Amino acid sequence: MDRRTLLTWTVCLGAFGASHAQPAVPRGAKKRLAVLIFDRPESWDFFPPELRSELGALGWIEGKNLETQWRYANGDPALLRAHAAQMVASAPDAILTRGTPATHALQQATRSIPILTGVGDPVGFGFAKTYAAPGGNVTGISWAVVEASEKQVELLRALVPKLALVVVVEQRDRAPFLTEITAPIAAATRAAGLEMRTALVGDEAELRRALQTDRGRGEVGALIYGLGRKIDAKNVADIALAAGVPTMFDSRFYVDAGGLASFRYDWDNQTRRAAAQIDKVFHGESPARIPFELPTRAEFVLNRKTARLLDLQVPQALLVRADAIVE
């Protein structure tokens, strides 16, 4: 299998091709789009202009034939539920959201208004019956966290043959998303016969404590996610190296800074895909029949210098498999 296209999903490719053959916007049509984001506005400052641009390319112009309302919950679950209820009461033509908490809040509020989302595991969390035929009022894109988790655990185990414990480290203020992240990792570690524990950290001291483990048998590894907003990437890599803990990240950024390895599935343009799905709904297509899309590109990056410092013998098969090697 081509390592750069580990997920070649017919559903995704078919949906991508279809987006280039959308019918023209009906004359005189005006649609209302609501956008609900669980985080703070500053975390998503890139999203409104990107979405306006992508929808505009499809003929939906804000202030002309498109009305858009934006709501941010600032990480507050109670405010998220209130925004969801208010949005549903306003009866928009479609609602765009991201993440499991916001999608769940909206799904609880309506089973009829189309919801376009981006989540890690739409089937596992009950938003869709299948990827190809969601069957309800929710569709969108999947971040393929189940597939990514399986690969991350597999690769970490290949790097650390006697691996017994995987420590999953996540940013403390992303606690509402923790289950979405850890559930597929828990399944992957169980399947591999490994133990797993989680740690929420907010600073370097907490990260050091999280990586302080009984390494008597040298069988501990860590999956570390999204600490960049709280801890400098090089400091994250240095703390893990000082603790003697092999690391797997979801971004090459950390490997370039000294982390051991990273694996992730990449989207070419999530916003473009979201706009294409909104366009389909605006033209009358039911979300029940719009497939959830998945990424088709993957990247595995390995830091050979860090492997040597950890006294790890990297199998030749992994060196060949890597998309990039940092020396």
| Adjacent-strand bridge partners of 34 | 69, 95
Task: For the chain, list residues with pLDDT below 50.
Answer: 1-22, 216-217
Tokens 């916007």 locate to 25
Q: At what angle do helices 47-57 and 270-282 cross, to 10 degrees?
A: 50
What confidence score (pLDDT) does residue 26 get? 59
Which structural domains are found in the chain, ordered by start? Answer: 3-143+266-297 (3.40.50.2300), 145-264+299-326 (3.40.50.2300)
What confidence score (pLDDT) does residue 223 get? 86
What confidence score (pLDDT) does residue 28 get? 62
What confidence score (pLDDT) does residue 142 get? 93
- Give CB contacts under 8 A, 24+ apart, made by 182-185: 183/121, 183/124, 184/120, 184/121, 184/124, 184/145, 184/146, 184/148, 184/149, 184/150, 185/149, 185/152, 185/153, 185/223
Distance of CA 247 to the CA centre of its chain: 19
**219: alpha, beta or left? (left if phi > 0; alpha if psi -120 to 50):** alpha
DSSP secondary structure code for residue 327 in this structure: -
What confidence score (pLDDT) does residue 227 get? 73
pTM assigned to the model: 0.81
What confidence score (pLDDT) does residue 25 get? 62
What confidence score (pLDDT) does residue 255 get? 96
The amino acid at residue 214 is D
How far apart are alpha carbons 260 and 257 in whole angstroms?
9
What confidence score (pLDDT) does residue 12 get? 45
What confidence score (pLDDT) does residue 27 get? 57
Q: Per residue in 98-132, pLDDT tens?
A: 999 999 999 999 999 999 999 989 998 999 999 99
What confidence score (pLDDT) does residue 182 get? 87
- With CA atoms as reference, report the closest residue to 33 among 270, 276, 282, 280: 282
Residues 6+ apart with CB under 8 A from 36: 71, 73, 80, 83, 84, 87, 95, 96, 97, 102, 105, 106
How far apart are alpha carbons 117 and 132 in whole angstroms?
15
Residue 144 sits at the vertex; the CA angle it makes with 7 and 103, to the nearest 5 degrees, is 145
Q: Strand order of the sheet with strand 138-142?
A: 66-72, 31-37, 94-97, 115-119, 138-142
- Find out whether 260 and 246 touch, Cβ atoms under 8 Å: yes
Q: Per residue in 16-72, pLDDT tens?
A: 444 444 456 655 679 999 999 998 998 889 999 999 999 999 999 999 999 999 999
